[in-house]
């Protein structure tokens, strides 16, 4: 009797799944980071709320109650506070985590192994920092109004204020990324103080730029991108107050944003290679 071999059924050929494109991966990374941002909303609230709201309280309620500053100072000050929240929150949102990820945790390696160009990884970081800066600006507006009891309200100026805050947040993120990827880790805290202090106090947050009586100080403040964020938001909400024209603010902020984007992405790519 002859044994008949039973033919082994052939397994169907496994078709390899197509590799997702860079756009799809980029969207997935952004979606993941946006979910993390949503969970950390209270952290953003604390991060953005303390300094600006204390500044509003001291300058308006305390000094205003003592007659040192005028009672309408809050309307002049609040647009500057909104600009401050947008730029500095974006700066800190990208700078401090990047210092850790490129430092002792090396978490950046997971992100760099994603099928994405390194430049898109950097752009994704800037997008999330900008979203956080915009959330900060949106939160500080009603919170500031609650602290001082009033707020300038001009619906037709809101689109301009939003665009200016968007550019300011993007610039803040680019500054933070440039600092975090070029400076030594052990000096990053000192550098933040050295960088943030002039940004805040020469950024026309407390006063309109055209009313400055010191020409040399006008020049100094004109070199600070925060000045154009503050003046842009102030001009959108308080057009009757002397301010830098909106087209000047938008032109300068757009140019600075393009230059700092190129610089920060280049610094990020170099650090990633190292």
pLDDT in tens, 26-57: 888 888 878 877 777 777 667 666 777 787 78
From residue 40, alpha-carbon distances to 32, 47, 91, 104, 134 in Å are 13, 11, 16, 22, 14
Are 35 and 123 in contact by the 8 Å Cβ rule? The answer is no
| Residue 251: alpha-carbon gap to chain centroid | 19
Return the pLDDT at 1.
46
The answer, yes or no, to whether residue 112 has pLDDT greater than 60, is: yes
Question: Is 219 buried (19+), middle (13-18) or exposed (0-12) by CB count in 10 A?
Answer: exposed
d(CA 257, CA 91): 13
The answer, yes or no, to whether residue 270 has pLDDT greater than 70, is: yes
d(CA 243, CA 43): 33
The answer, yes or no, to whether residue 66 has pLDDT greater than 90, is: no
Are 209 and 217 in contact by the 8 Å Cβ rule? The answer is no
Average confidence (pLDDT) over 197-208: 88
**Domain residue spans in the chain?**
27-273
Range with the poorest average pLDDT among 80-84, 116-120, 157-161, 252-256? 116-120
> Band of the pLDDT at 11, cuts 50, 70, 90?
low
Confidence (pTM): 0.86
> Band of the pLDDT at 155, cuts 50, 70, 90?
confident
The answer, yes or no, to whether residue 103 has pLDDT greater than 90, is: no
CA proximity to 75, closest of 159, 155, 154, 168? 154
d(CA 95, CA 180): 5
């Amino acid at each position: 009797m002859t044994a008949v071999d039973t033919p082994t059924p052939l397994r169907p050929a496994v078709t390899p799944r197509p590799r997702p494109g860079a756009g799809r991966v980029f969207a997935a990374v952004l979606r993941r980071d946006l979910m993390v941002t949503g969970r950390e909303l209270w952290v953003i609230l604390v991060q953005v709320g303390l300094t600006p709201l204390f500044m509003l309280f001291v300058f308006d309620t305390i000094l205003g109650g003592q007659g040192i500053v005028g009672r309408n100072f809050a309307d002049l000050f609040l647009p500057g506070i909104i600009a401050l929240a947008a730029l500095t929150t974006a700066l800190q949102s990208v700078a401090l985590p990047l210092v850790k990820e490129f430092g002792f945790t090396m978490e950046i390696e997971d992100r760099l192994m994603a099928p994405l160009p390194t430049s898109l990884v950097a752009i994704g970081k800037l997008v999330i920092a900008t979203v956080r800066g915009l959330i900060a600006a949106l939160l500080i507006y009603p919170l500031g109004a609650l602290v001082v009891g009033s707020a300038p309200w001009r619906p037709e100026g809101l689109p301009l204020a939003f665009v200016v805050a968007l550019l300011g947040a993007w610039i803040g993120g680019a500054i933070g990324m440039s600092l975090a990827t070029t400076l030594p880790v052990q000096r990053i805290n000192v550098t933040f103080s050295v960088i943030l202090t002039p940004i805040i106090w020469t950024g026309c947050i407390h006063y309109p730029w055209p009313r400055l009586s010191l020409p040399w100080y006008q020049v100094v403040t004109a070199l600070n991108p925060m000045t154009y964020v503050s003046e842009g938001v102030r001009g959108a909400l308080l057009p009757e107050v002397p301010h830098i024209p909106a087209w000047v603010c938008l032109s300068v902020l757009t140019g600075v944003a393009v230059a700092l984007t190129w610089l920060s992405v280049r610094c990020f790519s170099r650090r990633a290679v190292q």
